[in-house]
Amino acid sequence: MTIAPDNADREDLKSTTYEFFILAISVMSILNMAMLFVLSFESQSWWLVAIIDAALTIIFLIDFTYRLTTAPTKRWYLRHGGVFDFLGCLPGLRIFRLFRIMRAVRIVRRLGGPRVFGELRAGLASGTLYLVVFLGLLTLEVTGLLELRFAENAPGANITTAGDALWWGYVTATTVGYGDQFPVTTGGRIVGVGMLTVGVALFATFSGFLANLFLSTTKGAPERSAVDPESDLHASLQHVERLHLEQQVALDELRAQIALANTS
């Protein structure tokens, strides 16, 4: 009797860390949409925000495909917000991404604070990866906009386009440093120091995640399955919950057909 309410509360929640990632990306996308209206049309700053927003759109398309393929039924997902998710993937209909924010906030509030924090701790590894991706995109956008601002009308400036700013930001974050683009102003160099610091931290974290992933898949997984029966119980419970949800969906569709037959 306790499984149905739990599934109803979670709706199509995949994992708490994943939903927080989509929530953060959605908020960033809405802010970018506002910036595209504020910035001068087709200025270099406008193009930089547009490029980042295109990257976010790809993430939203992947999210839509993931939810559609893992939903109990495609019809169920489309009826419970999937249509809005698809519309939000279209560049001209970014406003529909607000529904992603509303859904994530509603689900997290239903789960409650203690449960959310517990699931965040359990999914720390995946949450770290999502955080690196989000902060990487955010850092590229912020530092790129700042560099374009500082390089504007500066003598000898070589970071003058959106492509230059993004290229310089990525090369700096990876500590490769080709030297083809570099800041020439004091403000730009301060931004460069920040980019180096954040970039090294992000790539070090990403490298640690990959190392932990390889180690856990090569030798950690068999040991955990042998000494940690709770993981098997948790997987079994998730399977039972999914079956129960699919049964509820089938019953709802059957009731609707019976009601339609009675009215006709």
| Other CB atoms within 10 A of residue 29 CB | 21
For residue 208, the enclosing domain spans: 124-227
Q: How many domains does the chain have?
A: 3
Which of 91, 122, 153 represents a domain boundary (last residue)?
122
Which of 88, 104, 122 represents a domain boundary (last residue)?
122
Share of the chain above pLDDT 90, in %: 15
Residues 116 and 206 in one domain: no
Residues 222 and 232 in one domain: no
Higher-confidence residue of 212 and 180: namely 180
Q: In this predicted model, what pLDDT tens digit does every residue of 24-39 receive, in sequence order?
A: 898 898 899 889 899 9
Residues 10 and 81 in one domain: yes
Residues 41 and 92 in one domain: yes
Q: In this predicted model, what pLDDT tens digit does every residue of 180-207 receive, in sequence order?
A: 888 888 998 999 899 888 888 888 887 7
Higher-confidence residue of 9 and 47: namely 47
pLDDT of residue 138: 93
| Other CB atoms within 10 A of residue 34 CB | 11
Q: Please report where in the chains the tokens 């180096």 appear, as a residue.
A: 196
Q: Which residues are within 8 A (CB) of 24 and not within 5 positions of it... i.e. 6 or more apart? A: 134
Q: What is the CATH number of the domain that holds 222?
A: 1.10.287.70
Q: What average pLDDT score do residues 96-111 get?
A: 76
Phi-psi region of 43 (alpha: psi -120 to 50; beta: other; left: phi over 0): beta
Q: Which residues are within 8 A (CB) of 120 and not within 5 positions of it... i.e. 6 or more apart? A: 16, 17, 20, 127
Residues 56 and 152 in one domain: no
Residues 53 and 115 in one domain: yes
Q: What is the CATH number of the domain that holds 69?
A: 1.20.120
Residues 19 and 93 in one domain: yes
Least confident stretch, 40-44, 56-60, 220-224: 220-224
Cα distance between residue 211 and residue 220, in whole Å:
12
DSSP string for 130-174: HHHHHHHHHHHHHHHHHHHHHHTT-TT----SHHHHHHHHHHHHT
pLDDT of residue 48: 94
The answer to pTM > 0.75 is no
Cα distance between residue 245 and residue 11, in whole Å:
9
Residues 7 and 24 in one domain: yes
Residues 200 and 240 in one domain: no
pLDDT of residue 12: 55
Residues 109 and 16 in one domain: yes
Residues 138 and 72 in one domain: no
Cα distance between residue 74 and residue 67, in whole Å:
9
Q: Which residues are within 8 A (CB) of 145 and not within 5 positions of it... i.e. 6 or more apart? A: 45, 48, 49, 165
Residues 80 and 62 in one domain: yes
Cα distance between residue 49 and residue 53, in whole Å:
6
